[in-house]
Amino acid sequence: MRPLNFFTGVFPVVFLLVVASGLLSTQAATSDAITKGKLSYDFYCYQCHAYDGDAQTLASTYLNPKPRNFASTSHQQLNTEQMVAAITHGREGTAMVSFSSVLSADEINNVVSYIRQRLMNDNKADHIYHTETNGWPNHQRYQIAFPFASGELALDTPWQQLNESQQKGKTLFMQSCISCHDRAVVNDEGPIWELRPLSYPREHFDNKADVHIISGASPYHVHEKIPDTSNMSAQIQRGNTLFQINCAFCHGGAATGKNWIGRFMEPPARDLTSAEITKRPDSALLQVIRDGLPNTSMPAWKQVLNDEQIKDIISYLKRQQGN
């Protein structure tokens, strides 16, 4: 009976040691996963979700819907499986894309572990960006600029409406903070920038006159002049508008291909006013514009322009034949 008593007494101790060893191993693995997850999160995720997970970032101000605010999301609201699926496959209708091509399954699990353990709770002081650990000692010295960074004060508030402290804060913000906080809150967003393809080396756009002003010294001056189509058909005028928006960057305003960008291409952009082009059947030109030209810089436009719009451009290119 003595051996039985011996093993009976030893077994619980051995069992506890094995269990404790397993727990320590699991904790170490979890700690290692969180450390690795932080590295991936800080490289791929912080731009939208922020270092502390509150999604208060420059990128988030441009996104609709907004990125997930992990700091205000509980474990019950968002489970592990949902998070893994979102990172793996993305979320349709949002800016959240699939990361399966850049992160392995283990790396995705590590990121989820990091977010759930370190960001989805109330103890995030060490993740706030402006801390001494992150290279910002005594950040409070910028306190007078905080209202402009947080949006409490609009950056375009008239100077005379600001008190002395606020004026100093705005000056400090403009000198030290705006390079990162350039999406400051303003009362008036101003005019929306219009995307214009520009290939003019010494050209600017006169907003008041709504015309391009091209330097007469430019050797490409004559090739950048947009032909007058005001007395031509509605189709040609539509084609002119579409051409200037989509095609003039490479082929020039006059469609000669002898503009700044067109001459630097290899092979050079084609002269679309030449007989070689204007005499070609409309169907052939439509196919080239729609599908592009292999081994050249001419891309396929079928995802941008429909067939009717392409036909309008062709009518513009062939305008001299009908006049």
d(CA 262, CA 170): 45
Residue at 155 is within a domain? yes
Domain with residue 303: its CATH number is: 1.10.760.10
- For the chain, the domain total comes to 3
Strand partners, 225: none
Label residues 161-188 b or e (16+ Cβ within 10 Å = b): ebeeebeebbebbeeebbeebeebbeee
Same-domain check for residues 122 and 148 = no
Residue at 186 is within a domain? no
d(CA 124, CA 55): 14
Residue at 207 is within a domain? yes
Same-domain check for residues 144 and 123 = no
Q: φ and ψ at 93, to 5 degrees?
A: 85, 5
Prediction pTM value: 0.45
User: Hey, what long-range contacts does 80-89 have (CB within 8 A, 24 or more apart)?
Assistant: 80/112, 80/116, 83/112, 83/115, 83/116, 84/108, 84/109, 84/112, 87/111, 87/112
d(CA 260, CA 104): 45
Q: Please list the alpha-helical segments (H only) found in the chain.
A: 2-44, 46-49, 80-89, 105-114, 146-150, 164-172, 221-224, 234-246, 248-251, 260-264, 275-278, 282-291, 307-317
* Contact (Cβ atoms closer than 8 angstroms) between residue 301 and residue 290: yes
* Contact (Cβ atoms closer than 8 angstroms) between residue 260 and residue 199: yes
Same-domain check for residues 146 and 55 = no
Same-domain check for residues 173 and 74 = no
Same-domain check for residues 6 and 112 = yes
What are the structure tokens assigned to 233, written together?
């058909």
Residue at 287 is within a domain? yes
Residue at 298 is within a domain? yes
Same-domain check for residues 118 and 230 = no
∠ CA(297), CA(300), CA(304), 5° rounding? 120
Same-domain check for residues 8 and 101 = yes
Same-domain check for residues 61 and 162 = no
The range of the structural domain enclosing residue 238 comes to 203-322
Same-domain check for residues 106 and 148 = no
Query: From first to last of its 323 residues, what are the pLDDT tens digits of the chain?
Result: 444 443 444 444 444 444 444 444 444 457 899 999 999 998 999 889 988 888 888 788 888 899 999 988 999 999 999 999 999 999 999 999 999 999 999 999 999 999 998 888 655 555 666 777 767 788 889 999 999 988 899 999 999 999 999 999 999 999 888 877 777 788 887 766 555 444 444 444 455 555 555 544 455 556 677 888 889 999 999 999 999 999 988 898 889 988 878 888 889 999 999 999 999 999 999 999 999 999 898 999 999 999 999 999 999 999 855 44
Q: Which of 111, 88, 84, 110 is nearest to 99 (CA)?
A: 88
Query: pLDDT at position 79, please?
Result: 95
Same-domain check for residues 171 and 210 = no
Residues 6 or more apart whose CB falls under 8 angstroms from that of 312 comprise: 235, 236, 238, 239, 242
Query: Of how many residues is the chain composed?
Result: 323
Query: pLDDT at position 186, please?
Result: 85
Same-domain check for residues 173 and 226 = no
Residue at 185 is within a domain? no
Query: pLDDT at position 8, please?
Result: 45
Residue at 195 is within a domain? no
Residue at 134 is within a domain? no
3-state SS, residue 214: strand
Same-domain check for residues 154 and 115 = no
d(CA 239, CA 231): 14
